[in-house]
Structures are given as C-alpha cells and as structure tokens.
Amino acid sequence: MADDDGPPPVLNFRMDVQLHPPLALPPGVTLRPATPADTARVAAFLSIAHPESPVAAEDLERLEATRQPDEPHARTLALSGGEIVGLAETGVPRSDGHPGWLDVSVRTLPDLASGSLAEALFAHAEAAALAHGARVLVTRVREDWWEKPFYEARGYAEHDRMWMSTLDLRTLDFARFAHYEARARAAGLSIRPLSELGEFDEAQQHRLYTLIAALLRDVPSTTQVSVWPFETWQRRVAERLNPVGLFVAVAPDGEWVGVSELYLPIPTRPGTLHNGLTGVLPAWRGHGVASALKLAAARAALERGFTHSRTGNHSGNRPMLAVNTRLGFVREAAMVTLMKACGV
C-alpha cells in the first residue's frame, strides 16, 4: 500500500501553436502566449478561478525549471483590457504520463465559466494537443468544478479519481497509535529519517529511487503509475528533498523496505507539508510499518513547526485510505482524471 502523490499542479507550457481558435472569441478578448513575466499574474488568476485550490508563482517557476527540453508544452492567455480572463494549456502530464497522452486544460474567471470563451479556449487546447500527436487527451478537475460536466459533454469520461485529504497534526494522539510503532520494532524494523542514513550522494539517491519506483509501480490505480527515469527524478525531486522530513523503514539486514515523504512545504497553505509517497514493500506489510512511518514523519513535522499534512490517494488504494482515515485525515472533494481517445 502507498500514499500517492497529490494531483499534479497546473502546468506551464511553451509550445508554438496557432493562436486563432476555430471558434470566435467574445468581443474585446484576445489571445497571446504566456511569458515568464506573466507568472505571478497567472498564479493569481488561477487562484481566483478556483480559490479552493490556490496556486503560487513559485510553484509555476519550479515546474518550468524542471521541464524536459523536448517536452511539448504551451500556455495561452485570454486577455480583456489587459487582464487575464482565461487560459488554455496543453502538454505532457507532469505526473503519471504515458506515451501518447497529452494534458489539456481550460480555465476562465468564474462568471465566464461554460460560455463562449471556454468553448474557444477548449478548441484551442485540443487543437494544440492533436498537432503534437496526442492519442489520448487527459485533464484533471475536481469533481465539484464546472469543468467536469463541461469536459464530459465533449466526449471525456472518468478514468480515475484521487481523494485529497488533510490532517491537523496537532490533533494526532500519538499514544493511541503507539502500538503500530511497537509492532514495527518487534518485527526488527527501525524508522529513521533520511538525514541519519549517511550522505545523500549519488549512490544513496539511487537506493532511495529504487525503493520509491518499486512502491509507485505497486500503487493501486486504474492505470499503473508511470515512473520517471532516475535522471528526471533526481532533477525534479532529489534536489528538493529535506532529509529531516523523509523517513525510511530499515529491515534488520539494512534493506530499505518503506518510506514516508513529508518534507515539502505548500506555499499556498501556510503551516502545511505535502505528504507524498508513503509505502511499504509487500514482504513487510502487516507489521504496522505504514502507520509507524506516518507517525514518525508527523512527529518530526510538528517539531519543525508545521501544523498540517496534506496528501492524495487513488480511490482504489483502500489500504492506505484506511490508514489515513484512522489517523484522522479529513477527505476533500475528489480530483478526477478524465480522458478521451483521439486517434491512432
């Protein structure tokens, strides 16, 4: 069982595409490609479009800095009177992408949802994806957003869903769950922060990556989770790790058999850490290891001054959903992956 990473953040694309959509724009609205100078404005616009899912400029900058050089990606802004009123995005899925899959995304200001601007931006995003050889179009929206029925009416169907949930670490009764830690110790396992396991050099990074890759491939999901090559993971993840907040379950023979990632602050949610992957190799399940890992990470997060942990799980990942429910994670509306096949 494993906690999954949350839904991928909004992408920042740079694809050269025709800026004239096949559908007419509303009067006074023009399109142009986004530039790096627009980043702060784009983040602010996305936060207005969906205040319950705010976006920080530093998130967009980090995503852009870790793009693969050959990735097709584009963001197009819809402007009215110089203000951003909508955008269209197309590109390679940031997380869990597969050959031939391209993301499409449309956002507008709330009072323009589902109108002619959304139609024009949607046509623009799809055309860009098809021009770059997409065989499957993918989008991710919250189940209570207007975009879900909008996409479904245009041929997209639900493929998978993830539950986002948040735990108030201050309410976690560690004594109540201490027996999980005792069971893990009784099995000969120790739960240790990465910072205590030696220098995080290339060899150590390979060791951690091998464990994480095995756990990701075992996550229950509609389509098996795709795993980044080591070099991509190293550039996107290893350089940002805080070894104090990542915990590893170590077997008696020194093998690394489980992990819990609770190390990355969420800029738009003060006091909150992102709980990425938590998982245990199959041979070591049933010993309370997943709960012990989460408890150790939560204790360390509180010591670092954080108050909340936020994670996401595929709806089919019943074992980890049960662990999170037991610890007190509060579930939010699901993030739904919609997709449409579009060719060879």
Q: What's the Rg (C-alpha) of the chain?
A: 21
Mean pLDDT of all residues in 200-212:
96
Percent of the residues in the chain that have a pLDDT greater than 90, as a whole number: 75
Tell me which of 7-21, 56-70, 287-301 is least confident: 7-21
Tokens 């694809």 map to which residue? 15
Least confident window among 42-46, 112-116, 179-183:
112-116
Tokens 């990355």 sit on residue:
264
pLDDT grade, residue 10 (50/70/90)?
A: very low
Answer yes or no: are the C-beta atoms of 2 and 279 closer than 8 Å.
yes
| Spatial distance between the Cα atoms of 264 and 242, rounded to a whole number of angstroms | 7
pLDDT band (50, 70, 90) for residue 5 = low
Are 73 and 23 in contact, with CB atoms under 8 Å apart?
no
Q: How far apart are CA 247 and CA 182, in angstroms?
A: 16
pLDDT above 90: residue 222: no
Closest CA to 164 of 13, 306, 9: 9
Give me the residue label for tokens 């108050």.
307
Domains by residue range for the chain, with CATH: 2-162+337-341 (3.40.630.30), 164-334 (3.40.630.30)
Q: What is the pLDDT of residue 97?
A: 76
- C-alpha distances (whole Å) from 96 to each of 75, 81, 103, 273, 337 are 20, 38, 11, 21, 11
Per DSSP (E only), the strands in 232-344 are 246-250, 256-265, 272-280, 308-314, 330-341
Contact 217, 279 (CB under 8 A): no
Mean pLDDT in residue range 189-204: 96
> Residue 174 and residue 299: Cα distance in Å, rounded?
8
| 223 against 82, higher pLDDT | 82
pLDDT digits (tens, 9 = 90+) for 83-100: 999 999 998 887 777 888
The pLDDT of 270-277, averaged and rounded, is 94
pLDDT band at 19 (very low <50, low <70, confident <90, very high): very low
Q: Are strands 308-314 and 272-280 parallel, antiparallel or unpaired?
A: parallel
Which pLDDT does position 343 carry in this prediction? 62
Average pLDDT over residues 284-292: 95
CA-to-CA distance for 89 and 34, rounded, in angstroms?
A: 10
Lowest-confidence region among 8-22, 44-58, 69-83, 106-120 = 8-22
| Predicted pLDDT of residue 67 | 79
Closest CA to 275 of 160, 165, 142, 141: 165
Distance, in Å, from the CA atom of 212 to the CA atom of 332, rounded to the nearest integer, reads 26
Give the pLDDT confidence score for residue 245 in this predicted structure: 93
The reported pLDDT for the residue numbered 3 is 63
